[in-house]
């Protein structure tokens, strides 16, 4: 029993080596196996690649099912396999098997669908020759007529006005003859030992007479000039000289120091602004001089006569006020701290100013309470550090407004108005509204902020609460 099994096993192994087409069930050659003639199994390829049914063979199977062309095992003559006495296959069996396999494969090849012919042109690689010119996309460009070309220019950008930089190309004599605003004499020097810049304002000459838009001035023939000094771009920390009364040739002889590192000083621009003091209205700017400090020898120092040029800022600023607000919901108290002010408008020719701050609480459009600070003599940069408390219930807080007015104390006549701001429901500007909103969002915490003072007319125009106070 073992010998026939071994012979059959060796026969099947030899079939596998001689033929790549085998049956899935009996491992016999496809042309000789009987199970493949009536079965629906497919023929698969055995090899080093995955066994997968060829698509052309699948097409032949579908055609066989439709009945277009029926191929059976009778097309290929089958010869029964006989073994030799020694257990080996005869040469006639081998030749017949080879012949049957050849017939089977040729019949399958004849049923393979023909592949369509595709005409593929060769792709050329390499540099274009001199005869071939590369095609570039054309760019549409609009051609301007002469009238359209000159219409694109804006003459105002090329005109010589007070804010133009073309004045740098003019000499002092040309500037003086063109604007006729006078000249200013000043000097600068940097102290490397103490790290500060000294600016000396000496004198001015040929200042123009004052221009008044009303008849309130007593003396229209002479000005009351003074000079404001700052280092751009920082205009907040400015300094100013005293006021010289009724003169077009003032002599100042005043020195001012700025604590600033040497390298930082070279990046700044010295701005000197000559202002005409007016007790009854806003102060008017006569002219200005600007000197980039990188263009001068600060250590060696020097003094210059410079012609004044017009300034785009016709009126000087009224000053700034530092305030702190704090609200306590449990106690219903609104606390206000007036800390300090700086660069206030000068209201007295000889003594500077005697400023104080008036605080008024307005509920809706009704004045509720008024308080004020003490006045400080002879200064435009007062330090107050005074606190005030107003009783405001929490349900009435959203309708409350605080009016801050800075006056210059005057014992002979009425106090001189300097500036005003309104904080609260009817705020006088975005900065004031932001301060009030920050206080509402942070109860029990003091909120500090600087505010630029505004004129009475400006506050009355935007804030109804300003109209309810004096």
The CATH number of the domain holding residue 255 is 2.60.40.150
Could you tell me which residue, 130 or 423, shows the higher pLDDT?
423
pLDDT at 77: 47
pLDDT-above-90 percentage for the chain: 36
Q: Tell me, yes or no, whether 276 lies in a domain.
A: yes
- Asked if residue 204 belongs to a domain, the reply is yes
Average pLDDT over residues 369-381: 89
Top mean pLDDT of 150-154, 269-273, 349-353 is at 269-273
Task: Round the average pLDDT of the chain to a whole number and report it.
Answer: 74
Tell me: do 237 and 347 sit in the same domain. no
Please measure the distance between the N-terminal and C-terminal CA atoms of the chain and give it in whole angstroms: 132
**pLDDT of res. 27:** 53
pLDDT in tens, 45-79: 444 444 455 565 565 555 555 554 444 444 444 44
Residue 437 pLDDT exceeds 90: yes
Who wins on pLDDT, 245 or 150? 245
Mean pLDDT, to the nearest integer, of 16-43? Answer: 51
> 387 with 299, same domain?
no
Q: Are 382 and 300 found together in one domain? A: no
Q: Are residues 347 and 459 in the same domain?
A: yes
Pair 350, 392 in one domain:
yes
Q: Which residue in the block uniquely carries the two structure tokens 């017949």?
A: 96
Domain count of the fold of the chain: 3
> Per the domain annotation, does 130 fall within a domain?
no
- Which residue, of 307, 339, 371, is where some domain finishes? 307
Determine the angle formed by the axes of helices 2-18 and 91-110, rounding to 10 degrees: 40
On the question of pLDDT at 32 being above 70, the answer is no
Boundary (domain end) residue, out of 273, 307, 341: 307
Q: State which residues form the domain around 27.
A: 12-91
Of 91, 110, 133, the one marking the end of a domain is: 91
* φ/ψ of residue 290, rounded to 5: -125, 135
Same domain flag for 386 and 300: no
Q: Which two tokens mark 256? A: 């001012």
Helix, coil or strand: residue 379: coil
pLDDT at 359: 95
pLDDT band at 142 (very low <50, low <70, confident <90, very high): low
Structure-model confidence comparison of residues 171 and 183, the more confident one: 183
Q: Is 459 helix (H, G, I), strand (E, B) or coil?
A: helix
Residue 412 domain flag: yes
Q: Between the CA atoms of 274, 279, 281 and 286, what dihedral angle is there, to the nearest 10 degrees?
A: -10
The reply to whether 123 falls in a domain is no
């Amino acid at each position: 029993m073992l010998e026939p099994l071994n012979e059959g096993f060796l026969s099947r192994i030899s079939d596998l080596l001689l033929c790549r087409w085998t049956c899935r069930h009996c491992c016999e050659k496809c042309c000789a196996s009987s199970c493949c003639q009536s079965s629906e199994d497919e023929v698969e390829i055995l090899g080093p690649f995955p066994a997968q049914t060829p698509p052309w063979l699948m097409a032949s199977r579908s055609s066989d099912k439709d009945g277009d062309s029926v191929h059976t095992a009778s097309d290929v003559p089958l010869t029964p396999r006989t073994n030799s006495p020694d257990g080996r296959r005869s040469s006639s069996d081998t030749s017949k098997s080879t012949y049957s396999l050849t017939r089977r494969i040729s019949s399958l090849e004849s049923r393979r669908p023909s592949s369509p012919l595709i005409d593929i042109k060769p792709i050329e690689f390499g540099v274009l020759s001199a005869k071939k010119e590369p095609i570039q996309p054309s760019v549409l460009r609009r051609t301007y007529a002469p009238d359209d070309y000159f219409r694109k220019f804006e003459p105002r950008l090329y005109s010589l006005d007070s804010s133009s930089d073309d004045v740098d190309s003019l000499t002092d004599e040309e500037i003086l003859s063109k604007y006729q605003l006078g000249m200013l004499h000043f000097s600068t020097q940097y102290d490397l030992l103490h790290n500060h810049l000294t600016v000396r304002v000496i004198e001015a000459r040929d200042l123009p007479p004052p221009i008044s838009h009303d008849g309130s001035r007593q003396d229209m023939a002479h000005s009351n000039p003074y000079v404001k000094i700052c280092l751009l771009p920082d205009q907040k920390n400015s300094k100013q000289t005293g006021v010289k009364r009724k003169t077009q040739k003032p002599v100042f002889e005043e020195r001012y120091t700025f604590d600033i590192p040497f390298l930082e000083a070279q990046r700044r621009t010295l701005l000197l602004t000559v202002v005409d003091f007016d007790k009854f209205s806003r102060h008017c700017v006569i002219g200005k001089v600007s000197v980039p400090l990188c263009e001068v020898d600060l250590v060696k120092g020097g003094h210059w006569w410079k012609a004044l040029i017009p300034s785009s800022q016709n009126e000087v600023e009224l000053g700034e006020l530092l305030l702190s607000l704090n609200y306590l919901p449990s106690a219903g108290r609104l606390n206000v701290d007036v800390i300090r002010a700086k660069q206030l408008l000068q209201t007295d020719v000889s003594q500077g100013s005697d400023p104080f701050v008036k605080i008024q609480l307005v509920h809706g459009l009704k004045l509720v309470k008024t308080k004020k600070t003490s006045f400080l003599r002879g200064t435009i940069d007062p330090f107050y550090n005074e606190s005030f408390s107003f009783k405001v219930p929490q349900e009435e807080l959203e309708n409350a407004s605080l009016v801050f007015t800075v006056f210059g104390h005057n014992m002979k006549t009425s106090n001189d108005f300097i500036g005003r701001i309104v904080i609260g429901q009817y705020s006088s500007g975005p900065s004031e509204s932001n301060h009030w909103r920050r206080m509402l969002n942070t109860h029990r915490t003091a909120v500090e902020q600087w505010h630029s003072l505004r004129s009475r007319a400006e506050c009355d125009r935007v804030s109804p609460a300003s109209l309810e106070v004096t």
